[in-house]
Amino acid sequence: MPEGPEIRRAADKVAAVLVGEKIEKVEFGLEHLKPFESRMSGCTVTAVDTRGKAMLTRFDNRLTIYSHNQLYGRWYTVRRSRMPQTQRQLRVALCTNTHQALLYSASDIAVLDEDELSTHPFLRRAGPDILDRGLTQPKIAERLQAVEFRNRALGNLYLDQAFLAGNGNYLRSEILWAAGIDPLRKAVSLAPTECDTLARETLKIAWRSYRSGGVTVTRALASRLRAEGVSREDYRFYVFGREGKRCRRCGSMIERRKMGSRNLFTCRRCQPAG
């Protein structure tokens, strides 16, 4: 399932063909959005932003296409003359004179004006995007210690989109392992240096995954493992999905637990109970 880094990469692709371009044709596959087609055709896309799993395609007439990637939504960007080979249902088509961005299958799509953007239930509740360029280590550390978050087990907090939008299941395991923090601990119990380390690793792992296309281990480690003949599936993570395998830091056995009804992977030696 896509997490913040995957959504941001999809948004980058859409932005590359749409931003600054006049959209000659707008088509919606959902009946209730059809009235917007004529209002948006001929307008220019100014930005493609993300907020966790939500993508916001902004137009210069102050309307925004909100698309929330539930499970199967997928954007394709192709030249105008091509259509992707897919059996999926077309939900949104945005065509410039050379390219088109096509959204298939996503179910939660809306066209919002400025007021609706500020009152939208998901957007109002969601925290800052984990890949927001303004999100700094001190800001995350401060957020961890905020009254509404500091008494929550970190393993649960790191799935909550209200804390950081775009955080998700693999990022949670990888970030907590990298910071050496037991997921049952609460931010309130962290020493200031632990809190800073967690904030730093949150950014580091999320950005590395974004840049590498889903690999959270360092580039050096990835190349070494690749050279040894290890497959991408087996080298891309530190702990996620590696139950029963050796910890890359200490050699202990990686364990799988359930938290927030999803699988969580840890090394008990690297992440001692607090």
Place of tokens 């804390």: 163
- The catalytic residue among 53, 58, 185, 236 is 53
Total residues at interface with Zn ion (CB under 5 A): 7
Shortest CB 272 distance to Zn ion, Å: 10
Among 181, 198, 247, 264, binds Zn ion (CB under 5 A): 247
Residue appearing with tokens 């030696």:
269
Structure letter (DSSP) for residue 93: E
Residue 189: both structure tokens together = 């119990």
Nearest CB to Zn ion, comparing residues 33 and 254 = 254
The residue number whose beta carbon is nearest to Zn ion equals: 247
Which residue of 250, 253, 272, 274 would you call a contact of Zn ion, by CB under 5 A? 250
Give CA separation, 217 vs 1, 2, 8, 263, in Å. Answer: 19, 18, 19, 19
Instruction: State yes or no: residue 164 binds Zn ion (CB under 5 A).
Output: no
Is 2 known to be catalytic?
A: yes
Cα 144 to its chain centre, rounded Å, is: 19
Q: How many Å is the Cα radius of gyration of the chain? A: 20
Among 124, 125, 269, 274, binds Zn ion (CB under 5 A): 269
Q: Tokens 């700094």 — which residue?
A: 136
Question: Which of these is catalytic: 13, 256, 257, 262?
Answer: 262
Residue type, 149: F
Of 69, 66, 48, nearest in space to 6 by CA: 69
162 vs 250, which CB is nearer to Zn ion? 250
Stretch that binds Zn ion, among 19-27, 96-104, 120-128, 248-256 (CB under 5 A): 248-256
53 is catalytic: yes
Which segment (45-53, 85-93, 156-164, 266-274) binds Zn ion by CB under 5 A? 266-274
- DSSP state at residue 89: P
User: From the list 88, 204, 249, 257, which residue makes contact with Zn ion (rule: CB under 5 A)?
Assistant: 249
227 sits in which H/E element: helix 219-227
Active site residue 262: yes
Question: Distance of CA 108 to CAs 10, 30, 40, 68, 245, Å?
Answer: 17, 10, 19, 5, 38
Give the catalytic positions in this structure.
Answer: 2-3, 53, 262
Binding site for Zn ion (CB under 5 A): 247, 249-250, 252, 267, 269-270
